[in-house]
């Protein structure tokens, strides 16, 4: 099989690493990729949000299967364009990708599917939004409706903070994404992420994870794209996962199919768990980053078979082979992240790291310059390891982090603290 993978982050390096191990993969091209991905696959420059350009590239390169990593090409309809051209593709249509691209759409689907989630209001003008906040009181959560690269959610502990967030959103702080806002009841509890494949009809769970969104030790400081993750998530017991499938995931998938927009791809189900009851926080229409890194470390080569079965609508026959293992990934970010940071500093020590089925350093934001690996993003490396216990996985991951010589980067030393 000739495979094209779209994306350039740690998520895509992990996907490429898993796919490459599967003997069914003859050729793997990643667009645009990064310096780490370039060590294991061909990289190609391509405008991945342009469905026509991606379809033409597939034609020229005899691509049999396309895996779409990030949400932006999905929301832009790249999967639709590929399917129209008869190209097998893993990832939802633009209509189904609204489960991530529009928070009010997701809330409306949850209402129709009777899926437990936070109570909410949906507003297109600031005054009505503020009246709702004053009536409900704080804590309360203000969300830009559209895609805002993970930054459009303000968990406001005071009413003033919530009112200010409404002003920010309607004055364009999040661009078009904030032209509409959803205001939600604050949910208390422990968060966990649940990953399922859906082929439009059948649903197959492929793992659980927990991430650390805050930049600082002890889960403090500003939100980031994620500073580390581990799998499985102990809080998401088999019984809770079954409950989430029965009450949230399957009814959502049935509602999408009923509307003529069946969902096909991986669904990232963000849950809040309190008193044995899961409630939906959000859906994402792609793998999490860095959650994907720990899932791929645990699934290995079978990830390709699972994504392929999903794309071909064969999930009812697919099985996941679980090992009783644990994985952890620690994000190494550029000093200053998630605020302003420098690019271009040289990272040393990468060549000496072991690359085995138990430990891999996935690249998230790197490029190659004059034979050196240099930082080119905020989140730069993901040291990822697996073990028979979470502690063993953690020790391996942190040993890798310590072996990397990059004074311009930092990482949290407490990933997994809750579970450990």
The H or E element containing residue 254 is: helix 250-258
Q: Please identify which residue in 291, 293, 363, 378 interacts with ligand GLY, judged by CB under 6 A.
A: 291
235 binds, among ligand GLY, ligand AMP, none (CB under 5 to 8 A by kind): none
Q: Which is nearer to ligand AMP, 143 or 396 (CB)?
A: 143
β-bridge partners, 123: 181
Residue 85 burial by Cβ neighbours in a 10 Å radius (0-12, 13-18, 19+) = middle
Say whether 136 sits in a helix, a strand or coil.
helix
User: What phi and psi values does residue 157 have, to the nearest 5 degrees?
Assistant: -85, -20
> Which member of 191, 201, 219, 368 binds ligand AMP (CB under 6 A)?
191
Instruction: Please work out the total of residues on this chain that contact ligand GLY, with binding judged by CB under 6 A.
Output: 8
- The 203-242 contact track toward ligand GLY, x by CB under 6 A, reads --------x-------------xx----------------
Residue 273: both structure tokens together: 């768990």
3-state SS, residue 117: strand
HSE (CB half, 13 Å, CA atoms) of 402? 7
Is the Cβ–Cβ distance between 107 and 122 less than 8 Å?
Answer: yes
Residue nearer to ligand AMP on the CB measure, 151 or 314:
151
Interface with ligand AMP includes 155 (CB under 6 A)?
A: yes
Picked from ligand AMP, ligand GLY, none, the partner binding residue 155 (CB below 5 to 8 A depending on kind) is ligand AMP
56: how many CB neighbours lie within 10 A of its CB? Answer: 13
How many CB atoms neighbour CB 325 within 10 A?
17
Quickly count: other Cβ atoms within 10 Å of residue 134's Cβ. 11
- Mark the segment that binds ligand AMP (CB under 6 A) among 32-40, 182-190, 198-206, 322-330: 182-190
> Which residues 134-153 are close enough to bind ligand AMP by CB under 6 A?
141, 153
Q: Minimum CB separation from ligand AMP for residue 170, in Å? A: 19
- Based on its alpha-carbon atoms, the radius of gyration of the chain, rounded to whole angstroms, reads 21
202 vs 291 by CB, closer to ligand GLY: 291
- Whether 306 and 24 have beta carbons less than 8 Å apart is answered as no
CA distance linking residue 300 with residue 168, whole number of Å: 43
Tell me if 71 contacts ligand GLY by CB under 6 A.
no
CA nearest neighbour of 147 among 167, 175, 123, 127: 175
Of 8, 34, 284, 329, the residue at the interface with ligand GLY (CB under 6 A) is 284
Of 130-159, binders to ligand GLY (CB under 6 A) are: 150
Q: Binding ligand GLY by CB under 6 A: which of 12, 199, 289, 359?
A: 289
For ligand GLY, the closer of residues 74 and 350 by Cβ is 74
Closest CB 331 distance from ligand GLY, rounded Å: 10
Q: Which does residue 211 touch among ligand AMP, ligand GLY, none (CB within 5 to 8 A, set by kind)? A: ligand GLY
Phi and psi of 410, rounded to 5°?
-145, 160
DSSP H/E element including 348: none
Interface residues for ligand AMP in 67-126 (CB under 6 A)?
118
Q: Which is nearer to ligand AMP, 193 or 366 (CB)?
A: 193
Report the residue number, 136 or 289, with the smaller CB distance to ligand GLY: 289
| φ, ψ dihedrals at 328, nearest 5° | -140, 145
Cβ proximity to ligand AMP: between 63 and 281 the closer is 281
Residue with tokens 């009010």: 104
Provide the 3-class DSSP secondary structure of residue 356. coil
Does position 192 interact with ligand AMP (CB under 6 A)? The reply is: no
State the Cα–Cα distance between residues 363 and 20, nearest whole angstrom: 16
Contact letters for ligand AMP, residues 263-292 (x by CB under 6 A): -------x----------xx----------
Binding-site ranges for ligand GLY (CB under 6 A)? 150, 211, 225-226, 284, 288-289, 291
Binding-site ranges for ligand AMP (CB under 6 A)? 118, 141, 153, 155, 184-187, 191, 213, 270, 281-282
């Amino acid at each position: 099989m000739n495979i094209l993978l779209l994306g350039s982050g740690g998520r895509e390096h992990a996907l490429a690493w898993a796919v490459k191990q599967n003997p069914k993969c003859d050729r793997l091209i990643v667009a645009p990729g990064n310096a780490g991905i370039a060590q294991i696959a061909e990289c190609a420059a391509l405008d991945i949000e342009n469905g026509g350009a991606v379809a033409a590239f597939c034609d020229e390169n005899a691509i049999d299967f396309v895996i779409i990593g990030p949400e932006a090409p999905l929301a832009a309809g790249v999967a639709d364009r590929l399917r129209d051209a008869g190209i097998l593709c893993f990832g939802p249509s633009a209509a189904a990708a609204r489960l991530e691209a529009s928070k009010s759409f997701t809330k409306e689907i949850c209402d129709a599917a009777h899926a437990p989630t936070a109570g909410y209001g949906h507003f297109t003008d600031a005054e009505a939004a503020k009246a709702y906040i004053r009536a409900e009181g704080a804590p309360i959560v203000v969300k830009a409706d559209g895609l805002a690269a993970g930054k459009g959610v303000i968990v406001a502990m005071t009413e003033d903070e919530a009112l200010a967030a409404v002003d920010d959103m309607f004055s364009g702080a999040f661009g078009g994404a904030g032209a509409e806002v959803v205001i939600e009841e604050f949910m208390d509890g422990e968060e966990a992420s649940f990953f399922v494949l859906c082929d439009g009809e059948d649903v197959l769970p492929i793992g659980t994870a927990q991430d650390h969104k805050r930049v600082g030790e002890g889960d403090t400081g500003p939100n980031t794209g994620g500073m580390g993750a581990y799998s499985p998530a102990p809080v998401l017991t088999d019984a809770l996962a079954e409950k989430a499938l029965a009450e949230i995931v399957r009814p959502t998938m049935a509602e999408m199919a009923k509307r003529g927009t069946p969902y096909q791809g991986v669904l990232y189900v963000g849950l809040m768990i309190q008193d044995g009851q899961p409630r939906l926080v959000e859906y994402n229409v792609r793998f999490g980053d860095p959650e994907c890194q720990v899932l791929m470390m645990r699934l290995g080569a079978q990830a390709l078979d699972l994504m392929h079965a999903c794309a071909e609508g064969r999930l009812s026959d697919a099985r996941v082979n679980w090992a009783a293992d644990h994985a952890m990934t620690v994000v190494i970010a550029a000093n200053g992240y998630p605020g302003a940071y420098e690019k271009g500093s040289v990272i040393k020590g990468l060549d000496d790291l072991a690359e085995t089925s138990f430990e891999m350093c996935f690249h998230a934001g790197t490029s190659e310059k004059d034979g050196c690996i240099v930082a080119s993003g905020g989140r730069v490396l993901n040291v990822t390891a697996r073990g028979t216990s979470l502690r063993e996985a953690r020790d391996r991951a942190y040993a890798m982090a310590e072996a990397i010589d990059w004074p311009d980067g930092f990482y949290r030393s407490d990933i997994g603290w809750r579970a450990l």
